[in-house]
Every structure is written in structure tokens, then in C-alpha cells.
Amino acid sequence: MTQNQLDKKSEAWSALFSEPMSDLVKRYTSSVSFDQRLWQADIEGSLAHAGMLAAQKIISTQDHAAIEGGMKQIRDEIESGAFEWKLDLEDVHLNIEARLTQLVGDAGKRLHTGRSRNDQVATDVRLWLRSEIDLIDGLLASLQKALVDIAEQNVEVILPGFTHLQVAQPVSFGHHMLAYVEMFARDAERMADVRKRVNRLPLGAAALAGTSYPLDREMVAKTLGMDGVCQNSLDAVSDRDFAIEFTAAASLAMIHISRFSEELILWMSQNFGFIQIADRFTTGSSIMPQKKNPDVPELARGKTGRVVGHLMGLLTLMKGQPLAYNKDNQEDKEPLFDTVDTLKDTLRIFAEMAGGITVRPEAMEKAALRGYATATDLADYMVKKGLPFRDAHEAVAHAVKAAIAHQVDLSELPLKVLQEFNPKIEKDVYEVLSLRGSLNARNILGGTAPAQVRAQIARHRARLG
């Protein structure tokens, strides 16, 4: 095929076709507008393939050298913005191949020996996604470190812990922050696990059945730093489960961000007043000058739906496809690319925003006192005095009722009143009924006692480096 024929490939794929592709179909089927971001992976994969072809004496050392020189020039052109991306050449792969052939002639045409765009694109996406996962891992670590910093600064700060959004028991604000550290740590673990399945080589599967050329696929995998090769040529070119799995892991990470966002939004409202987010992460109102809106967490909460939607789209994309490759799979890239971009941007801004959170301990403690947060501590106290827990639970319910009637906290009820519910109650009950006493009592692995929180902070610091 001459260069002119390659440039005009879309007008007639081969002699089999009797008319050129319509402009509408050309635009509809082209992917170069979005898949050009794969160019680095495409060049990296092509160079590894060319090196293997030369080692196997499928192409000459001269052709190999020409390909390497041409690819270097193409890399420079793309990085400088001088490279011309052509819609007629449909995708990133044909654009690079056409330019290579233009630069080095027949050597460029020989590069595609033993491969198809089917295994080429699957390889490119895997290489690109692998590097993005590595970046995401670093961003997840940065966010965790930022939350550990907040936790360390607020170990002794008392926050009302909620269930059903009702005040339940007092917890350390530092302990609360570490709950999100645990979530994001699991997200990092999931990403590392996904990376193992991403990091496998499809190249050499060709269109669907493998190739008759004596390729050394293991050599290419080693050159590209991949953990192994895809063992079935049909599967290698046709499945996108690795992209789906990544998007599922990204969806979970975004859901954790969304939960954190929801709390930041609530805590910043005047009805809570637990925190303040730095002005650089908020916006004002066009009509109400008193407003300071938590737009960053609100938008992250909204973008979570976007990422989850991409997961649903990819699942639906794959569910009805017969083996092997189908053009449907061109539609995997935009949702995958947007998922990566959205997750990276969100993690980056949340790590920065965490450093701009101002905690208001007085407001948190006041809220904890409003909800009879030490009621369970009173029940536990009665149990230790010999009362069965269910009886203690009932007795405390009556005590809370009395406190509500007198408009006081449990800790403010006179001893005589408390003894009406259990005569074994003594003066030491007031230490139990204090918020600080309740906090310190949870001195068990995973508990909210400050000693336990500090131990967890040390564990996370050692883990994160």
C-alpha cells in the first residue's frame, strides 16, 4: 500500500469496497479526537513489538533502527504540538503508523507485521491505564496523609457520633477522620489488585486467532514491564473486563469521597457549625451576600453519579458481545478516560482541601451534649453493678425520659434521681456520664479512646511513609 493509499484508507478499505466511506460515517466511527491520548502507550508498545520482530529476525536490524528513529521524531512532534492528527486516519494507531511510513518508508509498513489493531488497542489501553493507576495510588496516599494530619490534630476533640443521623455516642473527631483513611486505604488495595490484571499483554493475539509469525510474546511483555501475556487470543482482543473492574474500583473510591462530602456539607451548615472550609474551596451567592457554599464537596458528590454511570455503561457495552472483537469496544475509551480524569482531579483537590478545614470543637461538644450521647455508658455502668443488660437498657430509657422532662443532660441529674432507676448507682457514675469519660472508656482495638486513636495514627504513618 502506498502512502497515498494509506492516507486515503477510509475511502476504500480494499478492492472489495466499491465506494468510499461517507463523511457522516467517517465522523461517526472516528476515535482520534479522544484516543490520541494513548499516543505514548502506542509508541511504547510499537517499539517493544519492533524490537521483538528484529530479535526474531522477522524484520531487519536496519528496519528496526529506522522505526526507532521515526518514532523518536513522532514523539517530538506530538510533544511540541506539531503533529497533525487526521480524521481520515480514524484513530491514534493509524495516524502514528501513517506518519512513521511517511518518515521511514517501507520500514514503517513492516512494523504492523504479526499484529492487528485489535491486539494493539487492547495493549495501548492497558499500558495507559497501568500508568494512571500508579498516579491514582499516589493521590490516594496523599489524601490519606492529609486526613491523618487532621486526625492527629484533633484526637481529643469530641464529636457526636451518629447513627440514623441521630446523636448516638461521643467519638474522637480524629477517630472519625481515620474511618475515611481506612476506606481510602482499601481503595488503594483494590487499585493495586486491579493493576495485576491490567498488566497483562494482549499483543501477539493479532486480530483474534494469533499469528503465523514466530513472535516472542514473553519478550515483549518483559520489555513493557508486564506481569505476563494473555493466554487466549480470542479473550485477549475482545474483553474489557479490566476496564470495567477499574471503573468499579473508581466508583467505590468516589462513593467514599461522596460520603465524606456529605458530612462536610452538613458540618459546614449553620445548623451544625462543626467545621469551616477554607474560602478558596467555596463560592458565594449571586444574590445572597451572606452565603458561603461548599461547592467542591457538592460537585464531588455529583461527579460520583457520573463515574457510577460510566460503570453501568461499560457493563452494558460488554454484556451482549459475541467473541471476538467488535466495534462496540471503541465506546470503552471515553467513559474510561473520563473516569480516570474525574477520580484524579477529585482526589487531588480533596487532599488540598483537607488542609484547609478548620475544626470547631465547642460546637461539636455542645451538639454531643444535646443528644444524651452517654446513655449507653450508663447502661454499661449498671451492667457492671450486676443488672442484666436488657434491664439496664430499660432503666436508662426511663432516666433519659426524666432528663428530657427536666431539660438537663444525664450527667446533670441528681444522684437521688439516678438511684431511683437503680439503687446501686453511686457518685462515680458522673465520671462515666461525662463525654470525656465515655471517650476514654472505649479503649479497645479499633475503639475511639484517644490512646487507641494515637496508636492507629502511628500505624497509618508507618504504612504511608
Instruction: Write the CATH number for 392.
Output: 1.10.40.30
Residue 95's pLDDT is: 97
Q: How confident is the model at residue 1 (pLDDT cuts 50, 70, 90)?
A: very low
Q: How confident is the model at residue 9 (pLDDT cuts 50, 70, 90)?
A: very low
User: Does residue 79 fall inside a structural domain?
Assistant: yes
User: Does residue 158 fall inside a structural domain?
Assistant: no
Q: How confident is the model at residue 282 (pLDDT cuts 50, 70, 90)?
A: confident
Q: Could you give the CA distance from residue 246 to residue 229 in angstroms, rounded to a whole number?
A: 19
Which H or E element spans position 415? helix 415-419
Domain boundary residue, one of 311, 335, 365: 365
Place of cell 494469533: 210
Q: Could you give the CA distance from residue 447 to residue 219 in angstroms, rounded to a whole number?
A: 51
Shared domain for 139 and 281, answered yes or no, is yes
Q: How confident is the model at residue 11 (pLDDT cuts 50, 70, 90)?
A: very low
The residues near 58 (Cβ < 8 Å, ≥ 6 apart) are 113, 114, 213, 214, 215
10 has pLDDT over 50:
no
User: Does residue 345 fall inside a structural domain?
Assistant: yes
Task: Name the grid cell of 335.
Answer: 467513559
Task: Name the grid cell of 72.
Answer: 523518536
Q: How confident is the model at residue 72 (pLDDT cuts 50, 70, 90)?
A: very high
Shared domain for 347 and 392, answered yes or no, is no
The SS3 of residue 301 is helix
Portion of the chain with pLDDT greater than 70, in percent: 97
The SS3 of residue 219 is helix
Q: What is the pLDDT of residues 287-319, one digit of tens each?
A: 886 778 999 999 999 999 999 999 999 999 999
User: Does residue 417 fall inside a structural domain?
Assistant: yes
Residue 246's pLDDT is: 98
4 has pLDDT over 60:
no
Shared domain for 379 and 437, answered yes or no, is yes
Q: What is the pLDDT of residues 149-197, one digit of tens each?
A: 999 999 999 999 999 999 999 999 999 999 999 999 999 999 999 999 9
Q: How confident is the model at residue 14 (pLDDT cuts 50, 70, 90)?
A: low
Q: How confident is the model at residue 19 (pLDDT cuts 50, 70, 90)?
A: confident
DSSP notation for 28-63: HH--HHHHGGGHHHHHHHHHHHHHHHHHTTSS-HHH
User: Does residue 235 fall inside a structural domain?
Assistant: yes
Catalytic residue among 22, 131, 285, 406: 285
CATH of the domain at 287: 1.20.200.10
- Residue 379: asked if its preceding bond is cis (omega within 30°), the reply is no
Q: Could you give the CA distance from residue 454 to residue 465 in angstroms, rounded to a whole number?
A: 16
Contact (Cβ atoms closer than 8 angstroms) between residue 204 and residue 220: yes
DSSP conformation class of 18: S
Q: How confident is the model at residue 2 (pLDDT cuts 50, 70, 90)?
A: very low
Residue 285's pLDDT is: 73
Shared domain for 295 and 235, answered yes or no, is yes
Task: Name the grid cell of 422.
Answer: 437503680
Task: Name the grid cell of 429.
Answer: 457514675
User: Does residue 253 fall inside a structural domain?
Assistant: yes
Shared domain for 242 and 183, answered yes or no, is yes
Query: CA 364 → CA 51, 122, 129, 285, 361, distances in Å?
Result: 63, 52, 42, 27, 5
Summarize the confidence of residues 429-437 as an average pLDDT.
94
Residue 13's pLDDT is: 56
Shared domain for 233 and 313, answered yes or no, is yes
Shared domain for 251 and 399, answered yes or no, is no
User: Does residue 276 fall inside a structural domain?
Assistant: yes
Q: Which residue pairs from 398-405 have beta carbons closer than 8 angstroms and sit at least 24 positions apart in sequence?
A: 399/375, 400/372, 400/375, 403/372
Q: What is the pLDDT of residues 95-143, one digit of tens each?
A: 999 999 999 999 999 999 999 999 999 999 999 999 999 999 999 999 9
Query: CA 206 → CA 7, 197, 217, 237, 336, distances in Å?
Result: 22, 20, 11, 8, 23
Number of domains present in the structure of the chain: 3
Place of cell 518508508: 105
Distance of CA 277 to the CA centre of its chain: 23
Catalytic residue among 14, 18, 80, 164: 164
Note if the pTM is more than 0.75.
Answer: yes
Shared domain for 457 and 344, answered yes or no, is no
Pairing state between β 275-277 and 357-359: antiparallel
pLDDT averaged over the chain?
A: 94
Summarize the confidence of residues 388-393 as an average pLDDT.
94
8 has pLDDT over 90:
no
Domain boundary residue, one of 365, 390, 422: 365
Residue 391 sits in which domain range? 369-464
Angle, CA of 52, 56 and 61, to the nearest 5°: 75
The closest of 329, 342, 332, 267 to 300, measured between CA atoms, is 342
Shared domain for 189 and 126, answered yes or no, is yes
Q: How confident is the model at residue 393 (pLDDT cuts 50, 70, 90)?
A: very high
145 has pLDDT over 90:
yes
Q: What is the pLDDT of residues 185-215, one digit of tens each?
A: 999 999 999 999 999 999 999 999 999 999 9
CATH of the domain at 85: 1.10.275.10
Domain boundary residue, one of 336, 365, 394: 365
447 has pLDDT over 60:
yes
Shared domain for 77 and 172, answered yes or no, is no
User: Does residue 9 fall inside a structural domain?
Assistant: no
Query: CA 428 → CA 97, 234, 385, 418, 437, distances in Å?
Result: 81, 73, 12, 12, 11
Shared domain for 222 and 272, answered yes or no, is yes
Shared domain for 106 and 176, answered yes or no, is no
Contact (Cβ atoms closer than 8 angstroms) between residue 368 and residue 158: yes
* 285 tagged catalytic: yes
Angle, CA of 394, 399 and 404, to the nearest 5°: 125
Q: What is the pLDDT of residues 90-108, one digit of tens each?
A: 999 999 999 999 999 999 9
